[in-house]
Amino acid sequence: MFINRTAQISVAIATFGVVAFIFGVIAENKKPAAGTAIRGQDVVICKYPSDPTVALGVLSVLTLFVSSILGVTSIFFPYKGQSVPTKALFQSTTLLVFFAVAVSVSLLAEGMMIWASITEGLHRVRNVHRNLNYDCPTAKTGLFGGAAFLALDASLFWLVCQMLTLNARADYLEDDDPKGDYGQVLATDYEVDVNKNNKV
């Protein structure tokens, strides 16, 4: 059950991350380079082709959000029904660093994807302009694609965080090992060896 639950969370994080990536890449490919400017006497009306760019951007934002929530959950989830204090988990410097990177990359990917989607949506809604030289641009090229790759990176960082969490949990829960730390020699073992050598 423990392995199944761990695998389920990992697969869910990866799946939502990959789906966010795919939505972002398709949004980048479907986005037109510019709209068609229809010039009147005093205004320019921008006509954009009907495409799913904004919808795909929003779907990418949502799926990345779900992937990130699952990533955070994977760190604090009580595997085997045993909770580990947050302080004990984050004693691992590696986990702390990867957690900070995963949060940062997730926020950056979300911000870029939201920015690209809102910009594209505003271009389509506010399509009447009084500047007769307006050339009907769309969102900057590369925003959707860049955010898509960051979304994929974020899900990979969350998977690494989950693996590091499992290691930190194992170290914390196996702290009661009577053999002691690696390289530690117990005094009783040493005395037994000395007595054996003296008898010989």
Residue 25 neighbours by CB under 8 Å, 6+ apart: 144, 145, 148
Query: What confidence category does residue 46 fall into, taking pLDDT thresholds of 50, 70 and 90?
Result: confident
Q: Can you say whether the dihedral through the CA atoms of 160, 161, 166, 170 is positive or negative?
A: positive
Residue 89 has pLDDT above 70, yes or no: yes
In terms of pLDDT, which residue wins out, 76 or 68? 68
At residue 178, the pLDDT reads: 45
Most confident listed range (56-65, 74-83, 126-135, 164-173)? 56-65
The answer on pLDDT for 171 being more than 80 is yes
- Those residues whose C-beta lies under 8 Å from the C-beta of residue 97, and which sit 6 or more positions away, are none
Of all residues in the chain, the percent with pLDDT exceeding 90 is: 46
**Which residues does 50 contact at the CB level (< 8 Å), separation at least 6?**
none
Q: Work out the pLDDT band at 56, boundaries 50, 70, 90.
A: very high
Which of 93-97, 124-128, 149-153, 181-185 is modeled with the greatest confidence? 149-153
pLDDT given for residue 200 in this prediction = 53
Nearest in space to 26 (alpha carbons), one of 37, 15, 18, 36: 18
C-alpha neighbours within 13 Å on the C-beta side of residue 173: 13
Between the alpha carbon of residue 33 and those of residues 27, 28, 37, 136, 143, the distances in Å are 12, 10, 13, 9, 13
Which pLDDT score, from 0 to 100, does residue 23 have? 96
Contacts of 99 (CB under 8 A, 6+ apart): 75, 90, 161
The C-alpha atoms of residue 124 and residue 130 are separated, in whole angstroms, by 15
Instruction: Provide mean pLDDT across the span 139-161.
Output: 94
Neighbouring CB atoms inside 10 A of 187's CB total: 7
pLDDT tier, 135 (very low <50, low <70, confident <90, very high otherwise): confident
pLDDT at residue 38 tops 80 = yes
- In the predicted model, what is the mean pLDDT of the chain? 84
The pLDDT confidence band at residue 184, using thresholds 50, 70 and 90, is low
Whether 56 and 145 have beta carbons less than 8 Å apart is answered as no
Whose CA is closest to 121, among 161, 73, 61, 173? 61
pLDDT at position 196 over 60: no
Token couple for 79:
């595997």
pLDDT greater than 90 at residue 87: no
Strands (E), 13-134: 36-39, 44-47, 128-129
For the chain, what is the radius of gyration of the CA atoms?
A: 27
What is the pLDDT confidence band of residue 32, given thresholds at 50, 70 and 90? confident
